[in-house]
Amino acid sequence: MINFINHFSQWAIPLIIFSILISAFIKKVKVYEVFTDGAVEGIAVGVKILPYLLAMLMAISIFRASGALDIILNLLSKPLSTFGIPKEVIPLALIRPLSGTGSLGVVTDLINQYGPDSFIGRLASTMQGSTETTFYVAAVYFGAIGIKNSRHAILAGLVADLAGFLAAVFICRLVFG
Amino acid sequence: MLNKIWFTMICIGIIIAAINGRMEEVSVAILESAEDSVMIVVKLIGPMALWLGVMKVAEKAQLTKVLANLFKPLAKILFPEVPKDHPALASIMMNLSANFLGLGNSATPLGIKAMQELQQLNSGKRSASNAMCTFLVINTSSVTLLPTTILALRIGAGSAQPTEIIGTTIFATFCSTVVGLIANRILIKISGLREI
Per-residue pLDDT in tens (0 to 9) along chain A, 177 residues: 667 766 776 788 899 899 999 999 999 999 999 999 999 988 988 899 999 999 999 999 999 999 999 999 889 888 888 877 888 899 999 999 988 888 998 999 999 999 999 999 999 999 998 988 999 999 999 999 999 898 999 999 999 999 999 999 999 999 998
pLDDT at A2: 63
User: A68-81 and A31-65 helices cross at what angle (nearest 10)?
Assistant: 80
Q: Where are the domains of chain A?
A: 45-176
Q: How many residues does chain B have?
A: 196
Q: Which residues of B touch A61 (CB under 8 A)?
A: 29-30, 32-33, 36
Is residue B42 classed exposed, middle or buried when 0-12, 13-18 and 19+ CB atoms within 10 A define those classes?
A: exposed
Is the predicted pLDDT of residue B196 greater than 50, yes or no? no
C-beta atoms of A164 and B172 within 8 A? yes
Calculate what percentage of chain B has a pLDDT beyond 90: 58
C-beta atoms of A137 and B62 within 8 A? no
- Does the beta carbon of A54 lie under 8 angstroms from any beta carbon of chain B? yes
Rounded distance, CA A21 to CA A139, Å? 32
Tell me, letter by letter, the H, E, C secondary structure of chain A. Answer: CHHHHHHHHHHHHHHHHHHHHHHHHHCCCCHHHHHHHHHHHHHHHHHHHHHHHHHHHHHHHHHHHCCHHHHHHHHHHHHHHCCCCCHHHHHHHHHCCCCHHHHHHHHHHHHHHHCCCCHHHHHHHHHHHHCCCHHHHHHHHHHCCCCCECCCHHHHHHHHHHHHHHHHHHHHHHHHC
C-alpha B33: how far from chain center: 21
pLDDT at B152: 86
What is this structure's pTM?
Answer: 0.88
**Helix, coil or strand: residue B127:** strand
pLDDT at B104: 72
Q: What is the mean pLDDT of residues B60-73?
A: 86
Rounded distance, CA B183 to CA A152, Å? 9
C-beta atoms of A54 and B37 within 8 A? yes
* Nearest-CB residue to A164 (from B32, B108, B176): B176
Q: What interface predicted TM-score (ipTM) does this complex get?
A: 0.88
Q: What is the mean pLDDT of residues B71-96?
A: 89
* Nearest-CB residue to A34 (from B49, B60, B154): B60
- Does the beta carbon of A137 lie under 8 angstroms from any beta carbon of chain B? yes
Sign of CA dihedral B71, B76, B80, B86: positive
Give the mean pLDDT of chain B: 89
Q: Which residues of B touch A127 (CB under 8 A)?
A: 172
Cα first-last separation, chain B: 15
**Helix, coil or strand: residue B137:** helix
Q: What is the mean pLDDT of residues B67-80?
A: 88
Rounded distance, CA B22 to CA B29, Å? 11
Q: What band does B181 get if pLDDT is binned at 50, 70 and 90?
A: very high
pLDDT at A68: 94
Encode pLDDT of B124-160 as tens digits.
Answer: 889 999 999 999 999 998 888 888 888 888 999 999 9
- Does the beta carbon of A60 lie under 8 angstroms from any beta carbon of chain B? yes
Contact pairs from chain A to chain B, CB under 8 Å:
368
* Nearest-CB residue to B188 (from A29, A63, A152): A152
pLDDT at B178: 96
pLDDT at A9: 67
Q: Say which amino acid occupies B46.
A: G
Q: How far A79 CA sits from the closest chain B CA (Å)?
A: 22
* Nearest-CB residue to A160 (from B57, B63, B179): B179
C-beta atoms of A171 and B171 within 8 A? yes
- Does the beta carbon of A81 lie under 8 angstroms from any beta carbon of chain B? no
pLDDT at B78: 92
- Does the beta carbon of A16 lie under 8 angstroms from any beta carbon of chain B? yes
